[in-house]
Amino acid sequence: MTAYDVGIVGLGAMGSMAALELARRGRSVIGFDRFRPPHELGSSHGKSRIIREAYFEHPQYVPFVQRAYRHWARLERESGRSLLVTTGGLMLGLPDGTLVAGARRSAQEHGLEFEELSAREVRRRFPVFEPAANEVGLHEPRAGVLRPEDSIEAALELAAAAGAALCYYEPVLEWQGGDAITLITARGRYQVGRLILAAGAWMGTGLPGTVLPLRVARQPLFWFDAAGDPALVSPRRMPIFIWEWAADRYFYGFPDLGDGVKVATHHEGETTTGETVRREVTADEAIPLRAVMARRTPLLNGALRASAVCLYTNTSDGDFLIDRSPLDPRVILASPCSGHGFKFAPAIAEALADLALDRPPLLDLSPFALARFPG
């Protein structure tokens, strides 16, 4: 039985980047996925993901995204692919709402470049948005769009070139402790010294060996044609945006990168699992979103071009879960998701590699500990 330094279960955003990071460091790595990434059956797809720095969720995330920016640039250089499109970002809502106030707090704490625009200034600079008179927009120039499928493909190609063994269509059924950790898959048994579990929506199953406080949600994504001048929805004229249209209720979107304008709600999906999720999106599922868009983004509310389903794997507080397993400290639990994790992937992967090699991570992972959850 061949032994590897590190095994990785799940080769989506976090797992692919961790495989690359560890292979770069000269470690023997074996990675498993139940499908063939990149694919449309988990979380890391949909043609675009937001990257933003003025992080409304909490200022603790800003150092992670700043480090991630450097890693994204490296991945672009090494792969020869364009993975990040800078469009600027606009956070819209009431000045003291969760979104704008949180983004402002992070920007001020970390000395980030930003502008706070009145509703009139937003409408003048970005005609696709029609905020109410009492709303504002916080604009950050470095925000933009990541290409998830291309990013994962690039990481896996580079990891394989660096020596990582990547096993597709081979789900891991369980792991067992001992002198080495034994992985049991549908095809065989493997031994690894350390194990990273980054299985996304499948982290809530029996795979981790302990019950984790995770809820999987089904999040429909929609692509629309512009209802007005197509030039206004180009990446040169339209930033990525998040809009708090009611208290703690959000929708977000992207300019047209060639597939239409992508718009979706945030954290309003039905509970599901990776196995039982409804993967087809019906036409009437866009109706509630269209109602929100009608007054705020009418120029984005054209004909429905396409739809897809994304899976959010959420903790109860919306923060990540990154920690060693209480069953075996050699096993690392990685669920840095809750619907906002992709942008951090290469920085999180660096931290996961450090944990796997028993080194202190450069960034503080203590807010993401499993012990914060009762029981």
The pLDDT, as a whole number, for residue 283 is 86
- How far, in Å, CA of 186 to CA of 12, rounded? 19
Instruction: Give helix then strand counts, H and E, for the chain.
Output: 7, 20
Please give the biggest Cα pair distance in the chain: 67
- How far, in Å, CA of 262 to CA of 222, rounded? 6
- How far, in Å, CA of 12 to CA of 17, rounded? 8
**C-alpha closest to that of 172 among 1, 15, 33, 319:** 33
- How far, in Å, CA of 86 to CA of 83, rounded? 10
- How far, in Å, CA of 288 to CA of 292, rounded? 7
The tokens describing 357, both together, are 């090699």
* Burial class of 161 by CB neighbour count within 10 A (0 to 12, 13 to 18, 19+): exposed
**C-alpha closest to that of 359 among 4, 70, 2, 6:** 6
Model confidence at 257, pLDDT cuts 50, 70, 90, reads: very high
**Those residues with Cβ within 8 angstroms of residue 178's Cβ, 6 or more apart along the chain or in another chain:** none
Average pLDDT over residues 161-188: 97
Neighbours of 163 (CB within 10 A): 13
3-state helix, strand, coil in the chain (%, to 5): 30, 30, 40
DSSP lists the bridge partners of residue 335 as 321
The pLDDT, as a whole number, for residue 110 is 98
Provide the 8-state DSSP code for 269. P
- What does pTM read for this prediction? 0.97
The tokens describing 99, both together, are 């979104």
| Contact status, residue 68 vs residue 345, Cβ threshold 8 Å | yes
**Those residues with Cβ within 8 angstroms of residue 259's Cβ, 6 or more apart along the chain or in another chain:** 47, 223, 305, 306
Using DSSP bridges, classify how beta strands 165-167 and 29-32 pair: parallel, antiparallel or unpaired.
Answer: parallel
pLDDT above 90: residue 2: no
pLDDT above 90: residue 1: no
User: What are 326-348's pLDDT values in tens digits?
Assistant: 999 999 999 999 999 999 999 99
pLDDT above 80: residue 29: yes
User: What are 208-229's pLDDT values in tens digits?
Assistant: 999 999 999 999 999 999 999 9
The pLDDT, as a whole number, for residue 13 is 98
Q: How far apart are the first and last CA of the chain?
A: 37
**pLDDT averaged over every residue in the chain:** 97
The tokens describing 250, both together, are 């959000």
